[in-house]
Amino acid sequence: MDMKRDYYEDIELFSSGTILGWSVALIIFLFTLPLYLPSYNIYLLNIILVNVILAVGLNILVGNTGQISPGHAGFFAISAYGNSGNVFERSLCLFSFKQYVRRLR
Over residues 22-76, the pLDDT tens digits come to 989 988 988 888 888 887 888 888 888 888 888 888 888 787 777 777 777 787 7
pLDDT, greater one: 14 or 103: 14
SS3 content of the chain, % helix, strand, coil (to 5): 75, 0, 25
Predicted pLDDT of residue 1? 60
Note whether 42 and 98 are within 8 A (CB): yes
Rounded CA separation 59/55 (Å) = 6
Mean pLDDT of the region 6-23: 80
